[in-house]
Chain A
Amino acid sequence: MRTISIPRSASLVRPRPRGPRLRRFGHAAFVYALLLLLCAFILLPVGWMLTAALKPDTAPIFTFPPEFFPTQFFNWDTFSGVLFNPDTPYFRYSLNTAFLVFVNIVFAVISNSLIAYPFARLRFRGRNILFAVLIATMLLPAPVLLIPQFLLFYNIGWYDTYLPLTIPTLAGNAFFVFLLRQYMRTIPKDLDEAARIDGAGFWTIYWRIILPLTAPALTVVAVFTFLGVWNDFFGPLIYLSNTDLYTVAVALANQRSVVGVKWNELMAANLIAIVPPLAVYFFAQKKLLGGIASVGLKG
């Protein structure tokens, strides 16, 4: 796997003068000014959202000038209301979504590593053909599979359960398998051979040697799965009709269509939807950006 790395050495081997110092300073100031402007464009809407969520029902949400930072109101009750109000039980929706996230991460880590292991480390008849098939499945049109898969799950009684949103993960994801296979190939073969001489079977080698050593790549899989499942909208939308099973994304999308929705509550719900992915992002930032870069370099 490749990660973003700034070629620091590049700046070290370039001790040549770069124009007058003033111009260089001007250039840096220009870049910083632009970047600060862009950061304001990203962060001010989030600040506005927080300000709106922290207002009590009686305070106007839309003010002139717009308030981008909470200064006057800190009504945290909006959040507890949204989380526990029987009409908008976002605490329940969050738990539902967290459950789906957890199960999918476990399934994704196990299944994708199981599938990647033979492609990376074993020699077997049909390997090249099967690997070509795996890559080809990345090109399959998802919308075409949507309806027959829906009918399949509907007919075996999985509609309105979490099964269609979790079980398919066990079949692996071609991109994750590819990522893990690339990573596993970098582990020295000597380790397998030494274990085999000691009498270890393929399962033991996978479980005791390969899986632990693949942990960094598995973290990338887990983070992507977290973001994918937490943010997924289409799947829960078509498979769930019982509101008790709703995920945060579905509840949020439907809450907007409720007539007379309170803006402060809508913004509080929206913050509940974005805080977990944000937290994971800050926590796993390096891994995530590295993983995305490797996706980009695939092309």
Chain B
Amino acid sequence: MVAAAQKMRRGRRLGGPSLASAETRAAYLFLLPWLAGLVFLLAIPLGWAAWISLTDEQLLRPGVWTGVDNYARMLSDDLFLTAVGVTLKWIVLSTPVFMIAGLGLALLLNQKLPGIRAFRTVLYIPAVLSGVAVAVLWVVLLNGDLGAVNQILRALGWSNPPNWFEDPGWAMPALVLMGLWGVGGGAIIYLAGLQNIPPHLYEAAEVDGAGPLSKFWNITLPMVSPTMFFVLINTIVDGLLVFGPIYVISSGAQTGGPANSLLFYMYYLYVKGFRDGELGYASALAWVLTVIGMVLVWLAFRLERRYVFYEAGGDA
């Protein structure tokens, strides 16, 4: 009944059906660029992508139907398996590091101290820089023989510091270190989550005699867990799409990092599709990447059900 009354009021406000249809017409005119993009940049390419992945399409030669050959080929493609391994290893290794470091930094930046804003400004700087520029800088800083980092490590008594990006075993940790430089980006999101925690919760806990650790464990962590979940999903998706830094570290070569230790999935897809021109195979790779992403996000949502706390009635 309420809905009917609203409808009547709405009708009167619009002055009858003719104006309503004029409004519809106007709306679709406004939406025209988006609708065009929806058809030409999303719907058609999506269907086309499915078709291409079932052909042996190459850059200058239209593909011939090959069925699921592209997908079958992956199973025996060692580099594909390497790429999946490297990408998953990165996600497993870097996600907890970035999440804990981001939350820790946000807790620091959430202190009510004079001048804290200036610190926030500085610590967020790396997040606005391009992955390429950051990688160029860190490749030089982490130079094995002469880089500033190793000079410092040697001065601190580590006579034989790692070769970082030149050593297959140390390339991934080096990338994590580089990522830590940009951890302020995640911290800002946590900070917003922290600042949304109602202060009365802490006050009530203090009245009950809770110490700082207990407050963190029983209030901060559950209240910030939805933000942590959001950051987790973002970190996973970003991890699947790592590209620019790998191009820089590998100098644009076919191998990703030393001995393919940094052959990330997107880099392999780029090499196959845009270097070797095997667009059919690259398209199949893209679909498999999507499936991997969906599985990971699904796993994250299962974790969410167990560990993420949502205030009753709250929407976030």
Contact = CB atoms under 8 A, between A and B. Distances in A.
Contacts of B131: 231, 233
Contacts of B181: 41-42, 45
B110 to A, nearest CB: 9
B140 A263 contact: yes
B123 A292 contact: no
B244 A233 contact: yes
A152 B108 contact: no
B121 A285 contact: yes
Interface stretch (B88-96, B166-174, B226-234): B226-234
A124 B21 CA distance: 8
Contacts of B36: 171
A149 B45 contact: yes
Interface of A: 2, 4-7, 10-11, 13-14, 16, 28, 31-32, 34-35, 38-39, 41-43, 45-46, 48-49, 52, 62, 64-66, 68, 111, 114-115, 117-118, 122-125, 127, 130, 133-134, 137, 140-152, 154, 168, 170-172, 177, 193, 201-203, 206, 227, 230-234, 237-238, 249, 252-254, 256-257, 263, 266-267, 270, 273-274, 277-278, 280-282, 285, 288-289, 292-293, 295-299
**How big is the B interface, by class?**
35 or more
B241 to A, nearest CB: 7
B130 A170 contact: no
B256 to A, nearest CB: 14
B141 A114 contact: no
B33 A170 contact: yes
A193 B48 CA distance: 45
Identify whether the interface residues of A are mostly helix, strand, loop, or mixed: helix
A62 B144 CA distance: 11
Interface string B260-293: 0000001001100110000100110011011001
B215 to A, nearest CB: 13
Interface string B5-17: 0000010011000
Identify whether the interface residues of B are mostly helix, strand, loop, or mixed: helix
A234 B59 CA distance: 18
A7 B203 CA distance: 14
B192 interface: yes
6 contacts: A4-B192, A122-B27, A144-B46, A257-B252, A274-B129, A295-B189
A238 B251 CA distance: 16
Contact of A38 (B14, B30, B105, B151): B105
A172 B48 CA distance: 21
Interface string B171-198: 0000000000100110011111101100
Contacts of A134: 34
Contact of B41 (A45, A145, A203): A145
A143 B289 contact: yes
A256 B134 CA distance: 13
B130 A231 contact: yes
Nearest to B190: A296
Contact of B286 (A68, A147, A230): A147
Contact of A5 (B28, B48, B195, B227): B195
